[in-house]
């Protein structure tokens, strides 16, 4: 089981320049936040590369705090609230937790993406996984994606900038069509989402819903490229 988790973490978090982006989806209370924090913690222990960084962007200003280290004055290392703060954190911290100003969410998100591309250009060995929580805020199916999102969706892989889109909705903006490699699927409240998932990704979650309900916090890992479905037990807590 530990080897299986190790392989899953590697697939989710490591930007190898070949893999496409990922989507983690589920309703509130389904277990996706615990899954992300625990799997991120495990991956950071596995991967000791000096050139790898992880950025967690949280519009709700919550999550991932327990993963941060503290300095001698008990200040949290890597907790930032601005793009400049993120760039400074990237210099030394393997994990940066970004709690943006809620009144400037979209602009800050776009500026952060552009800043990661600039950082990569200045530091060619830099590799990064960007986790965007509540990504439906930025990638609604009803509006056009920003230029920054189109840029990272299309060019992120080749720049070793891996994105994990975390959402309550399984189908996000069309910008992601053909750019998603895998889905991590927890439970969803509306059957309409299942049909959308089948149309977009070729995956119908409905036959698995009862199995997910039978084991709280379990989930499905779906490989979009191969259409392989794996039922996964809840992630072990460390």
- The domain made up of 2-232 is a member of CATH 3.30.70.100: no
Structure tokens at 138: 């930025």
Q: What is the pTM of this model?
A: 0.93
Please tell me which residue, 136 or 189, carries the higher pLDDT value.
136
Query: Per-residue pLDDT tens for 15-71?
Result: 888 888 999 988 888 888 989 999 999 888 888 889 999 999 999 999 999 999 887
The per-residue pLDDT for 125 is 96
CA neighbours within 13 Å on the CB side: how many for 159?
Answer: 22
Residue 185 has pLDDT above 60, yes or no: yes
Query: Per-residue pLDDT tens for 91-148?
Result: 999 999 999 998 999 999 999 999 999 999 999 999 999 999 999 888 876 678 889 9
Please tell me which residue, 193 or 19, carries the higher pLDDT value.
19
Report percent pLDDT > 90 for the chain: 45
The DSSP result for 171-203, as a single string, is ---GGGTT-EEEEEE---S-THHHHHHHHHHS-
Residue 172 has pLDDT above 60, yes or no: yes
The per-residue pLDDT for 171 is 63
The per-residue pLDDT of the chain, averaged, comes to 87
Strands 219-223 and 228-232: antiparallel
> Would you give the end-to-end CA distance of the chain in angstroms?
14
Listing from the earlier edge strand, what are the strands of the sheet with 21-25? 79-80, 95-98, 52-57, 127-132, 161-167, 21-25, 180-185, 219-223, 228-232
The per-residue pLDDT for 78 is 94
Residue 151: pLDDT band with limits 50, 70, 90: very high
Residue 3 has pLDDT above 70, yes or no: no
Task: Strands of 58-160 (E only): list them.
Answer: 79-80, 95-98, 127-132
* Residue 91 buriedness (CB in 10 A; 0-12 / 13-18 / 19+): exposed
Angle between helices 83-92 and 105-122 (to 10 degrees): 40
The per-residue pLDDT for 141 is 62
Going by C-alpha positions, the residue among 64, 149, 162, 180 that lies closest to residue 120 is: 162
Please tell me which residue, 59 or 8, carries the higher pLDDT value.
59
């Amino acid at each position: 089981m530990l080897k299986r988790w190790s392989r899953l973490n590697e697939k989710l978090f490591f930007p190898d320049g070949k893999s496409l982006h990922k989507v983690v989806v589920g309703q509130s209370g389904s277990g996706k936040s615990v899954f992300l924090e625990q799997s991120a913690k495990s991956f950071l222990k596995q991967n000791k590369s000096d050139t790898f960084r992880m950025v967690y962007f949280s519009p709700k200003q919550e999550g991932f705090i327990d993963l941060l280290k503290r300095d001698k004055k008990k200040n949290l290392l890597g907790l930032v609230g601005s793009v400049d703060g993120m760039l400074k954190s990237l210099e030394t911290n393997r994990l940066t937790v970004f709690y943006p100003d809620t009144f400037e969410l979209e602009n800050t998100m776009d500026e952060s993406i552009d800043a990661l591309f600039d950082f990569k250009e200045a530091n060619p060995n830099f590799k990064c996984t960007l986790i965007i929580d509540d990504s439906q805020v930025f990638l609604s199916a009803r509006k056009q994606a920003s230029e920054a999102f189109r840029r990272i969706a299309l060019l992120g892989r080749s720049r070793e900038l891996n994105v994990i889109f975390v959402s309550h909705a399984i189908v996000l903006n069309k910008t992601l069509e053909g750019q998603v490699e895998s889905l991590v699927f927890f439970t969803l409240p509306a059957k309409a989402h299942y049909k959308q998932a089948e149309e977009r990704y070729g995956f119908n979650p409905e036959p698995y819903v009862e199995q997910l309900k039978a084991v709280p916090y379990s989930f499905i890992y779906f490989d979009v490229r191969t259409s392989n479905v794996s039922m996964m037990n809840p992630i072990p807590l460390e």
